[in-house]
Amino acid sequence: MISAFISRTSALWLGIAGFVLLFSPDAVLPRLISGYPSSGLWLGQLLGAAWLGLAALNWINRRLILGGVFGRPIVLANAIHYFISAMVLIRAVIRQPEASVELAAIPAIALAVAYGALLFRGPFDQPR
């Protein structure tokens, strides 16, 4: 099922990134953002927790057919998250190209397109 593949991919991507930000923001954030203050590491942990929550939502619903009216809240939450993430990352790449930001933008854009298609087109899989 295509929607299951999209859900698993999203869950793995968000789970890994959320886990890294939750447990080692002091190693990640200063490398991504020059001059990032150590007093703001809690913000990275909050973002990591949010990503882990969305990853858990995607993992739990990975076997559902998603798209159209099927799993609409899940698809909408993911579509909004990935669309905004893609726009922010594209803007960051335009302002200051860095390999780490470009590598993060690629899956965000791909998943934004996938969840947008699920939201507006409907499920790729046919219900049985």
Tell me how crowded residue 65 is: count the other CB atoms within 10 A of its CB: 20
pTM over 0.95? The answer is: no
Summarize pLDDT for 15-69 with one digit per residue, the tens. 999 999 999 999 988 888 888 898 889 999 999 999 999 999 999 998 888 887 8
Summarize pLDDT for 115-124 with one digit per residue, the tens. 999 999 878 7
Among residues 57, 47, 42, 61, which one has the least CA distance to residue 1?
A: 61
DSSP character at residue 128: -
Helix spans in 24-122 (H):
25-32, 41-60, 72-95, 99-120
